[in-house]
Amino acid sequence: MNSTLMFSKASDEWSTPQEFYDALHAEFGFQIDAAATRETNKCAAYYGLDRGGLSSRPCYGDALAGNWFGGPHWCNPPYSKCREFVAKAAQERVRGVLTVMLVPSRTDTRWFHEHVWDAQTHRPRLSIEVRFVKGRLKFGGAAAGAPFPSMVIVFRP
């Protein structure tokens, strides 16, 4: 297996496929994109590091730095920061924030077992839902499908 591409950090900020996002948005009605840039944000407002830029959408700064508010939140985090964003979504769930995340389906990772999977019950933790994506998503700007499977994690308050 060629793991070079699978774990490449050449770029880990890829736009969510619009049709895929639209289906989840129809179900959840997202208001805030929890990990975005001016170019990739999908919602009326977003958290991102390019605060104060040219976007007409409000940017609330670094999502990992403070408490989230409002929602529901959409989150397709930079995959090099999955652990941090999954931990943050799990923390915000306890505070009453609904977050839906698109992440690589890496069920062997520490972050998956720390924040998503309950080893005692052999299922997702309380108020967390995991949806495995069939096939490989083709992220915005990519010439081909992702070299890894994906999953959607729903953190319900």
Pick the CATH number of 12-155 from 3.40.50.150, 3.30.70.2190, 2.60.40.10, 3.20.20.70: 3.40.50.150
For residue 100, what are the β-bridge partners?
74, 154
CA-atom Rg of the chain in angstroms: 15
CA-to-CA dists, residue 46 to 18, 34, 53, 111, 122, angstroms: 16, 6, 12, 24, 34
Q: Say how far apart CA 46 and CA 75 lie, in whole Å.
A: 10
Residue range 62-119, pLDDT digits in tens: 999 989 988 899 999 998 999 999 999 999 999 999 999 999 999 999 999 999 999 9
Domain ranges of the chain: 12-155
For residue 46, what are the β-bridge partners?
33, 59
With beta carbons less than 8 A apart as the criterion, state whether 35 and 47 touch. yes
Model confidence at 58, in pLDDT bands (50, 70, 90)? confident
How big is the chain, counted in residues? 157
- Compute the Cα dihedral for 9, 15, 16, 17 and give only its sign: negative
**Burial (CB count <10 Å: 0-12, 13-18, 19+), residue 143:** exposed
DSSP conformation class of 16: P
Tokens standing for 40?
Answer: 């990739």
With beta carbons less than 8 A apart as the criterion, state whether 40 and 140 touch. yes
pLDDT of residue 125: 96
Residue range 13-55, pLDDT digits in tens: 678 889 999 999 999 999 999 998 888 889 989 998 775 555 5
